[in-house]
Amino acid sequence: MTEQTAETKPAPFIRVSDEAAKWIGIFHTEQKLDPADYAFRVGVKAGGCSGFEYVMRMDRPKPEDRVFEHNGAKVVVDEKSLRLLNGSTLHFIMKYQGAGFTILSPRVAATCGCGTSVSFKSEPAPSTSTAPPG
């Protein structure tokens, strides 16, 4: 049996809301994409006024991607993006002005007035404690 210590960090994750999962399924159907071959990619790229922009599209998973599933919908994220998106939730919202996917992230420090650019809080420094557990 392995012992879990205070130093153990939970695995990085992204939540997928029920509504987002439903719309990923709709996109598979509308675009005639086989769910066995395609997933919804969520990522982050450098750009925009605040430093980063979200990337979201249907895409073929790559071997190095992390896969998150909910209600039959697969979401894939590359490791570099996952470091920034860890703990986020993918939602699908409908508003009077339109509808679309959005990411709610506890790591967002600021957004730009343009609505497409974000900056992230820096990750907390790893613990330097060397005390033995227990």
On whether residue 132 sits in a domain, the answer given is no
Asked if 71 and 18 count as a contact pair (C-beta separation under 8 A), the reply is yes
For 100, the domain range is 14-120
Residue 96 is part of a domain; what is its CATH number? 2.60.300.12
Structurally, how many domains does the chain consist of? 1
pLDDT tens readout for residues 24-70: 999 999 999 999 999 999 988 877 666 778 889 999 999 999 999 99
Q: Of 75, 100, 72, which is closest to residue 88 (Cα–Cα)?
A: 75
Q: What pLDDT digit, counting tens, does each position of 95-123 carry? A: 888 888 888 877 765 566 665 666 567 76
**Angle at CA of residue 61, ends 88 and 8, nearest 5°:** 45
The pLDDT of 75-102, averaged and rounded, is 89
**Per-residue pLDDT at 57:** 94
Asked if residue 133 belongs to a domain, the reply is no
At 6 the pLDDT is 53
> Is 128 a member of any domain?
no
Instruction: Of 90, 69, 66, 103, give the one whose Cα is nearest residue 17.
Output: 90
Arithmetic mean of pLDDT, 124-130: 39
Report which secondary-structure segment, H or E, holds 113. Answer: none
Q: Residue 5 falls within a domain, yes or no?
A: no
**Does any domain span residue 39?**
yes
- Tell how far CA 109 is from the center of its chain: 16
Predicted local confidence at residue 113, as pLDDT = 64
Q: How far apart, in whole angstroms, are the C-alpha atoms of residue 7 and residue 17?
A: 29
Q: Is residue 82 part of a domain?
A: yes
Number of Cβ within a 10 Å radius of residue 81? 22
73 located within any domain: yes
> Has residue 78 been placed in a domain?
yes
